[in-house]
Amino acid sequence: MAFRAIAIAMMAAAAVVIGTGWAAGSAHAQPAKTPSTFAGGCGVVAYPGTGVRGTVKVVSGPTSCGDAMEIVDRYLHDPVLVHSGNTWTAEFDGWLCVTPTAATADEYGYLSTCRDEFGGEIRVLPEQASPEPTWIPCEASVIADDIGEPVTVERCYGNWAFVTTGEVDTQSLIRLVNGTWERYVEFPAEICTWQAILDGVPAPELRSFTC
């Protein structure tokens, strides 16, 4: 009975963290819910096409790390989101995101920025801008050696990573256990949300667990 009560409580917490996905509305209207889960920022994302990686950081406003990762992830990877111009501008859910040209990005010191009308701002910083540049988390070659197959790191959270593997782009969530990367789950997952929370799955990835 005690375990069931804990499970119910954790599922309720998951509902608060997950919301209703990209269609939930403006993320800036939500109070901060989760702390930073990555040294120096909220997590690492990879740009489609180039594979360039950057660290997501909330520069101003009450946006939580979980929401910031979801906003940037949608900007970079949502196939139905319309982007325009050479700055890849996109507007959605009250956010305006742009990616400056390479020359301008070097001048500004960030890869992309997302801003809302209330002064909130999320930036994707060059990966070397991390306060711990000597620590390279989610290194694809190391992960590949540990799990025995080539991988592409899509999102990184320090001790967790969302990766694609194989010729059919199988999606998996992996984690670092005692210094070795292990596959936590391959999607679609049969693990329930409350169990994922108990296991420490990063908040932005909880949306993939539905039961």
Instruction: State the CB neighbour count (10 A cutoff) for residue 205.
Output: 25
* CB-based contact 109:129 (threshold 8 Å): yes
Residue-level pLDDT at 178 = 85
Q: Any alpha helices (H) in 78-210, and if so which ranges? A: 102-108, 140-147, 193-198
Task: Assess whether pLDDT exceeds 50 at residue 42.
Answer: yes
SS3 25: coil
Q: Which of 19-28, 80-89, 169-178 has the lowest mean pLDDT?
A: 19-28
Q: How confident is the model at residue 204 (pLDDT cuts 50, 70, 90)?
A: confident
Residue-level pLDDT at 9 = 38
Record the pTM.
Answer: 0.47
Sequence-distant (6+) residues with CB within 8 A of 115 are 95, 96, 97, 121, 122
Can you tell me the distance from the alpha carbon of 122 to that of 110, in angstroms, rounded to the nearest whole number?
A: 10
Residue-level pLDDT at 128 = 60
Two tokens, residue 153: 């790191």
Task: Assess whether pLDDT exceeds 90 at residue 199.
Answer: no
- For the chain, what is the mean pLDDT? 76
Q: How far is CA 66 from CA 9, 108, 113, 167, 177, in A?
A: 19, 25, 16, 30, 22
pLDDT digits (tens, 9 = 90+) for 110-153: 999 999 988 889 999 987 644 443 344 688 999 999 999 999 99
Task: Tell me which residue has tokens 């999320």.
Answer: 122
What residue numbers bound the domain in which 179 lies? 2-208
Residue-level pLDDT at 39 = 44
Residue-level pLDDT at 77 = 92
**Number of independent structural domains in the chain:** 1
* CB-based contact 121:115 (threshold 8 Å): yes
